[in-house]
């Protein structure tokens, strides 16, 4: 097992109360596996990933409980220096907006070379040679000349290719990609996701893909974890989740996206209502105010994840019968 997250809870101190951004989540990730994390905006997807590497300052974020075992080491127990030796080295992140992850006053070449020089201690000449190779691998045309260019001289898609090259530079065991193509033109999204998936397959790198796009997850993830109001409400192998969704929220998400095999006259079914304020969660199942199947018990008791099939779990009082 590459990564084991156990009972992780992370709260944010906000003016109007304690925001339960991540509430007691557990999951595993194998070497080379791709895990898709899906859910609406504000469900805790990004905070759950950023808190693995302690990338949100404390305060406002407080990791109140849990363990994050990466290659057997608990990341929450490490000091800043030890954690820095993991960030960008054995574990890398790709953020949504490449312009904010690249430094505008440094050449792209320097930014790809930097992790190689810091983490692997290679010389500048060797780093430059590897950098050109990485840019070529990320399919940046005329890589040898473009290493000297600055981020503003690249298009959005090309900038994200640079970020992917940076992420892969030290051959990490895990990449966390947070909505990596959401800020890009749709025509470039598939191309970049194909590239990222191929490169992670070639290098045997595990990938956590955070997205609100169920189509992306269906195509690229081996397993899917659905989050709602800071909690995991369903997890399963991708095919099982799409064939037999067990949680009413997952069903709602699937029914609200257009499908190619759907009758064009059929209207999409949105999930009624709004996601809850994480500082004022409703009692019982947090989805009950929006759930068409809610019962009395759902208002008072919180369901925990329970098996509903082979390697398939859902947190719903109806189990797989929802």
Using CB under 6 A, list all residues that contact ligand SF4. Answer: 247-248, 285, 287-288, 291, 293-295, 298, 303, 316-318, 322
Q: Kindly write down the DSSP assignment for every residue of 127-181, as one continuous string.
A: HHHHHHHHHHHTT-TTHHHHTT--GGGS-HHHHHHHHHHHHHTT--SEEEEESTT
CB of 249 to ligand SF4, least distance (A): 6
Comparison of 66 and 303: residue with beta carbon closer to ligand SF4: 303
What is the dihedral sign for C-alpha 179, 184, 186, 190?
negative
Identify the bridge partners of residue 36 per DSSP, sorted by sequence position.
209, 224
Identify the bridge partners of residue 94 per DSSP, sorted by sequence position.
177
Query: Element (H or E) spanning 82, and its range?
Result: helix 80-84
CB of 270 to ligand SF4, least distance (A): 17
Comparison of 156 and 319: residue with beta carbon closer to ligand SF4: 319
Provide the pairing of β-strand 61-70 with 3-14: antiparallel
CB of 244 to ligand SF4, least distance (A): 15
Query: Which tokens hold the place of 286?
Result: 């947090």
């Amino acid at each position: 097992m590459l990564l084991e997250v156990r009972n992780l809870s992370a709260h944010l101190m906000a003016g109007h109360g304690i925001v339960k951004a991540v509430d007691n989540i557990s999951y595993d990730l194998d070497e080379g596996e791709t895990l898709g994390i899906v859910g609406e905006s504000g469900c805790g997807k990004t905070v759950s990933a950023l808190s693995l590497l302690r990338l949100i300052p404390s305060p406002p974020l407080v990791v109140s409980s849990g363990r994050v075992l990466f290659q057997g080491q608990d990341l929450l127990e490490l000091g800043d220096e030890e954690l820095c030796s993991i960030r960008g080295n054995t574990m890398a992140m790709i953020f949504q907006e490449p312009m904010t992850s690249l430094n505008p006053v440094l050449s792209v070449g320097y930014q790809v070379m930097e992790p190689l020089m810091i983490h692997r201690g290679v010389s500048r000449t060797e780093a430059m040679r590897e950098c050109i190779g990485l840019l070529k691998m990320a399919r940046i045309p005329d890589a040898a000349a473009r290493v000297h260019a600055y981020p503003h001289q690249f298009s959005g898609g090309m900038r994200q290719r640079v970020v992917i090259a940076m992420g892969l530079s030290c051959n990490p065991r895990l990449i966390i990609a947070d909505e990596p193509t959401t800020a890009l033109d749709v025509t470039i999204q598939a191309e970049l996701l194909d590239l990222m998936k191929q490169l992670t397959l070639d290098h045997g790198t595990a990938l956590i893909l955070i997205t609100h796009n169920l189509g992306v997850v269906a195509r690229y993830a081996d397993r899917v974890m659905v989050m709602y109001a800071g909690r995991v409400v369903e997890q399963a192998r991708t095919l099982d989740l799409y064939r037999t969704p067990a949680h009413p929220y997952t069903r709602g998400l699937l029914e609200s996206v257009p499908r190619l095999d759907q009758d064009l006259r059929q209207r999409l079914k949105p999930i009624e209502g709004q996601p809850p304020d994480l500082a004022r969660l409703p009692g019982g199942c947090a989805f009950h105010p929006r759930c068409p199947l809610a019962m009395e018990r759902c208002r008072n008791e919180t369901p925990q994840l329970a098996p509903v099939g082979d390697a398939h779990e859902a947190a719903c009082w109806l189990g797989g019968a929802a």
